[in-house]
Structure 1
């Protein structure tokens, strides 16, 4: 049965109202608005609830087997032709924000080859389109996808699939119709204040500037937050800093990645030492950090090294339980921000020796790491991060991640995913690439490393990472201790020499 196309009484939001909506934060999943602003905007795009939320015009709809069929006649009941825009399938009441990125995608096939038009537009006069693309649909199912920047700001947006103008009766089948924003499909937010960009801005005449800008500054998609932001600076509010960063990403429809790095006793007094003064200060800091996100889309890597170093008795000096308590507290506070916030608790790397395993003679200590992660609250997160600030290849890191995930599931019943730091793993972490017996490179600014793949969603294949991310910002020094090459800058300081070496792989 054909459903009449719905027209909203108010398609265009007044400018003042639109500005207010653009800055509105989703406080938590439990308080999420009925009209989605971030994430998946299309309702019932897999048609598991029949034709609910979808309307049609001069097209008979049915939903069977988790797909939508639309039967389109070539002539009207009066015998006239059916124009392309006369017959359509669509969904209205969508929130679109001007300047934000969106991705429309769907699977489609038809009983005869046909070219249809897919749009995202206003659902009322003046029917402004912000996306209009032709799709050549064949008799075998094909996936279509477009990423675009919205030119309209409205609560009256619509998806339309225009199906008319065909020479004969045609049956279309659609599935997996999706309209997203602020997900990995729209891209990761680039930190505009990253150290590489700051260096390029100060040295525009340097012969390395253009190379560093294109290869690193324009691709640095992770921002680290720690005691340099607020703990020792009362004038700085960590909640406001996080809120501003996440808000800027949300306004663009891109996904931000943040690192929370303020655990007391950070880095066991090493090159990156510091952190909050005590557990109470840390909990206050992470409270503000989490509230700054305000339920908006974000990926958070939680406290690099903190879990693995909790197994070091000399470092902990009896403070293991206090650290576990802080990490659990942080995981819980981030979990309370809702499903748009994805937290990954750091789980070291594939060559971090924690002790023997029943099924692993290399001493990686999967059982011990699983125990530490469990104690640190990994069950309240989406999963764990591996290879942060390290150099192991994707293959080595995925092997570690998949075995650790299996151990968490088998021993503790915890389902988890993982992400891999790819910022400097283009040449892997072995002295001779691909040869484990050659030994592993040092942790501090080793030579011969190379940029890895830029931040992106994983392939979805079994045994692989959910995301590959530039977590360590390339070109930022690991430190200047005796274990580092002579002349290395202090930890976290950008070096154009280190940056260029990573670009060139030397």
Structure 2
């Protein structure tokens, strides 16, 4: 998955790292969990280092090309990250992930299987056709709802459908996005309505400052999120929005990475902190909750991209600030690791069906496998360039 607009900003530079999260020996809470979405739940819960990413990192440690990295690499497994339920089959990952979830941790889940998914790119096109809204509801959302209901003593943070609503705002000229528009809005509303459970907090994806942060996109972007939120009945467990998911933008670098470009005058959101401030104001006017989480998983290095919109396996990237609620910004609930570092954004194989030209650009790492597949050399690069270091 990744954005398809010539707009994406930087990495979180200069922030202070929180200690990496360690799995505790305790299991689920002894009673039902109720999350108050009017508050910042990240002040009370630690993002869970889920078992799937832990296994990927453990395997990566065993396969290191540079043995001197092993101690640092092993520490990555203890960092909380979101688990991507990006297909009907991958819903099965839920069970193992929740099995070792201690009461003080919150399990981050990415809800990501809309009909006609990723309508403006090829690398992460989904399994459902744009007409498969009924299947999305009954075979994807409903089983996730059932699993969460079966685990009332555990806490869940849900990131709702990356790239979907932003694509409707900025890529409405594409036939693929036009065909998917109805399913996107209907599907996201259905997800918000049915996942509105007491032990859940939800954030709707809002791209990043280089996407909806353009001055002309702020109000339309806010209107689109608010439209779907209201269609869902304004669910109480929606806390706000997510930014920079699987992205590269800095949280607070000033001046911004692309502030010197000829079109910078049209985008005042040169970092994610400014974007959150400005987009929150637009959302408030539109009637949508105004708090955010921001992905800092791979944004430790700036100045790597040729353009804001270059989103695929950026070469020279590094692991960024560990998940924490200590963001220094009232509107930003937490820094999170949304994209598991080491999993590819898309293949660089030009003959592949899902090859996207962004994955062949000069600033994209090559070779890279299909989206979601593990890329060992890229993981090692992220580790070497991590800031703060492991």
Q: TM-score, normalised by structure 1?
A: 0.55
Q: Give the SS at the match of 1:255.
A: strand
Deviation of 1:275 after TM superposition, in Å, equals 3.5
SS of the residue 2:247 aligns to = coil
SS in 1 for 2:223: helix
CA deviation map 1:144-192 (0-9, x unaligned): xxxxxxxxxxxxxxxxxxxxxxxxxxxxxxxxxxxxxx96545221112
Check if 1:421 corresponds to 2:295.
Answer: yes
Distance 1:39 1:390, change over 3 A: same
- Structure with bigger helix share is 2
1:309-458 equivalence runs, <5 A: 309-311=167-169, 312-313=171-172, 314=174, 315-335=176-196, 337-338=197-198, 340-352=199-211, 360=215, 363=216, 365-377=217-229, 379-380=234-235, 381-395=238-252, 396-410=271-285, 412-428=286-302, 430-431=303-304, 439-440=307-308, 442-458=310-326
Deviation (angstroms), 1:259: 0.5
Aligned length: 309
**CA distance 1:247–1:460, shift in 2 (3 Å):** farther
Which of 482, 493, 504 is matched with 2:373 structurally? 493
Q: Show the counterpart of 1:469.
A: 336
Return closer, same or farther for 1:222/1:184 CA change in 2, 3 Å cut-off. Answer: farther
User: 1:348: Cα distance to partner?
Assistant: 0.5
Alpha-carbon distance in structure 1 between the residues aligned to 2:68 and 2:341? 15
Residue matched to 1:279: 133
Is contact 2:327-2:335 (8 Å) kept? no
Moved over 4 A (4+): none
Asked if 1:479 is matched to 2:365, the reply is no
Root-mean-square deviation (CA), in Å?
3.0
Unaligned runs of 5+ in 1: 1-21, 25-34, 41-181, 231-237, 433-437
**Shift, 1:226, TM fit:** 1.9
**Paired residues for 1:80-91 under 5 Å:** none
Residue 227 (1) aligns with residue 87 (2): yes
CA apart distance, 1:461: 3.4
1:71-110 alignment, distance < 5 Å: none
When residues 449 and 280 of structure 1 are mapped into structure 2, their CA distance, relative to the original with a 3 A threshold, is same
Report the structure number with the largest CA radius of gyration.
1
Secondary structure (helix, strand or coil) at the match of 1:406 reads helix
Q: Return the alpha-carbon distance in structure 2 between the equivalents of residues 248 and 488 of structure 1.
A: 32
Partner of 1:248: 100
For 1:261 and 1:216, how far apart are their aligned partners in 2? 24
Considering fraction of residues, name the structure with more strand. 1
Rounded to whole Å, the distance in 2 between the matches of 1:345 and 1:326 is 12
Q: Name the CA distance, whole Å, in 1 between partners of 2:314 and 2:194.
A: 37
TM-score, normalising length from structure 2? Answer: 0.70
Inter-CA distance 334–39: structure 2 relative to 1 (3 Å threshold): closer
How many angstroms apart in 2 are the aligned matches of 1:228 and 1:211?
35
- The alignment partner of 2:241 has SS state of strand
Between the two structures, name the one with larger relative contact order (CA 8 Å, sep ≥ 6).
Answer: 2
Q: 1:299 maps to what in 2?
A: 157
CA drift at 1:209: 6.1
> What's the CA shift for 1:455?
1.3
Deviation, 1:244, is 4.7
